[in-house]
Structures are given as C-alpha cells and as structure tokens.
C-alpha cells in the first residue's frame, strides 16, 4: 500500500471515529511518520497527493495557519471519488484507456461548444511547458496527464472533470509503465506534442467531432504503440 493510501485511510478512520473533524489539522510530519512507520519525506509526498485529491489544504510556515487542514467531509460525494482514485491502481490498463476515450471524447466535443478563449489559453500553457527543451521525461508525462484533466474540465461537467482528476495518477502510472517499450522517446514526444496541439486547436475552432476523433486516436494510438494491450 502506498504512503498516501495509508495517510488517507488513517484520516478517514479518525474522522469516522470523531478524533478529527472538518477543519482540523493533521498531525505533523514527524508524528505521522512515527504513527504509520514511514519516513518523513514519504509523509510529505503523501500530503501533496492528498492536497491534489482535495482531501487537505496546506499552508507553509510555522504560524497558526501552517500545516495540512482537512477540507473533505467523509460523508460527501468526494469520498466515492477518493475511493475510485485508490482503486484505479488495481484496474486493467485497457479498462482505464477505454474509460478515458469515452470521457475525453465526450468532454472535448462539449468543450468545443462552450470553452472560453481564456480556458483554452490556460490549457495551451500546459502544452507550452511541454515544449521546453531538455524537459525530463517524467515531467513531460506529468504535464501530459494534467493537460488531459484540463481538457475534461473544459466541458463544464463537474462529475466528469472530477472522475478524470481521480484517474490522473492511473494515467501517469500506465504511461510510465510503457516507458521500457518506447526506447526512442524523442520522436514519440514530438508526435504527442503535435497531437495535443491538434486536439486543442479543434476545440478552439468549435470542431467537436474532430476533437473527439483526434483525442480518441491519440489515447488509443499511444496505448497500442507502447504494446501495453
């Protein structure tokens, strides 16, 4: 079990037992590390994951507002989303890919009708970041997953964007798993960049059907090319 799963389960157990309440602060890194039997850097990374998942909000410093504050109610719909997030690591990659195609094809079709120029520009910034020279492959994949979540968000459907956000780690995971099957990375990265640009351009032009076709080809193409299926 990964460290953030341990921390999340501990938080949920303490919330259910009344030991913690919404708005309370998590114990410090040292205390959590000792409680869970893990290192402090592992706890620090777990807190970052939980913040990205919307479980906690963090503030730096040493004052009264510093630390990780619990912002997710275990009785809210977010709980189901968090459990989906945890479960995705155990799902077949092919199922994740099919789910992505369904969600993202619908999302970009909707986004073509409703995304504002400002929203498209924000998504384009992620692509610009992916164009940086000498960008580490790991960073490229993280930005890639973030871009696909941003695409889903453009559709304006909170549930779809939340599900996509919960799949972010699973997407990143299977892309990393494909790395050994893609030894010649440079041309693949060039192709992926071009495909991302084409999808976003179709959304910006209001071509929903074209965007849906392009994003499906992009997702399925990488999956097949990396020989994960």
Domain CATH code at residue 125: 1.20.120.530
- In angstroms, the CA 139 to CA 83 distance is 26
Overall domain count for the chain: 2
Asked if 100 and 88 touch (Cβ cutoff 8 Å), the reply is no
Phi, psi angle pair for 2, to nearest 5°: -75, 155
pLDDT tens digits, one per residue of 17-68:
778 787 888 888 888 888 888 888 888 877 877 776 667 787 665 555 567 8
Last residue of a domain, one of 70, 100, 122: 70
pLDDT tens digits, one per residue of 177-225:
777 777 788 898 999 999 999 999 999 999 999 999 999 999 999 888 7
- Maximum mean pLDDT: which of 37-41, 82-86, 105-109: 105-109
Its domain, for residue 208, covers 75-226
- In angstroms, the CA 229 to CA 220 distance is 10
Q: Which residues contact 205 (CB under 8 A, 6 or more apart)?
A: 112
Last residue of a domain, one of 55, 70, 85: 70
Phi, psi angle pair for 151, to nearest 5°: -60, -45
Band of the pLDDT at 74, cuts 50, 70, 90? very low
Regarding whether 154 and 167 lie in a shared domain, the answer is yes
Q: Is the pLDDT of residue 114 over 70?
A: yes
- In angstroms, the CA 170 to CA 172 distance is 5
Regarding whether 17 and 82 lie in a shared domain, the answer is no
Regarding whether 184 and 160 lie in a shared domain, the answer is yes
- In angstroms, the CA 6 to CA 46 distance is 9
- In angstroms, the CA 62 to CA 132 distance is 35
């Amino acid at each position: 079990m990964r460290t953030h799963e341990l921390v999340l389960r501990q938080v949920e157990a303490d919330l259910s037992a009344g030991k913690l309440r919404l708005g309370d602060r998590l114990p410090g890194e040292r205390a959590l590390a000792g409680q869970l039997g893990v290192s402090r850097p592992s706890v620090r990374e777990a807190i970052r994951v939980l913040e990205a998942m919307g479980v906690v909000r963090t503030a730096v410093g040493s004052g009264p507002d510093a630390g990780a504050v619990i912002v997710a109610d275990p009785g809210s719909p977010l709980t189901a989303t968090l459990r989906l997030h945890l479960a995705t690591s155990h799902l077949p990659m092919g199922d994740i890919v099919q789910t992505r195609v369904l969600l993202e094809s619908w999302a970009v079709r909707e986004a073509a009708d409703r995304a504002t120029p400002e929203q498209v520009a924000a998504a384009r910034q992620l692509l610009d970041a992916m164009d940086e020279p000498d960008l580490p492959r790991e960073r490229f994949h993280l930005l890639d997953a973030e871009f696909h979540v941003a695409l889903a968000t453009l559709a304006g459907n909170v549930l779809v964007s939340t599900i996509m956000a919960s799949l972010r780690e699973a997407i990143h995971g299977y892309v990393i798993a494909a790395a050994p099957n893609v030894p010649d990375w440079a041309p693949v990265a060039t192709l992926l960049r071009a495909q991302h640009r084409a999808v976003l351009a179709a959304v910006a032009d209001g071509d929903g059907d074209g965007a849906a076709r392009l994003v499906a080809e992009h997702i399925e193409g990488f999956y097949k090319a990396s020989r994960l299926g």
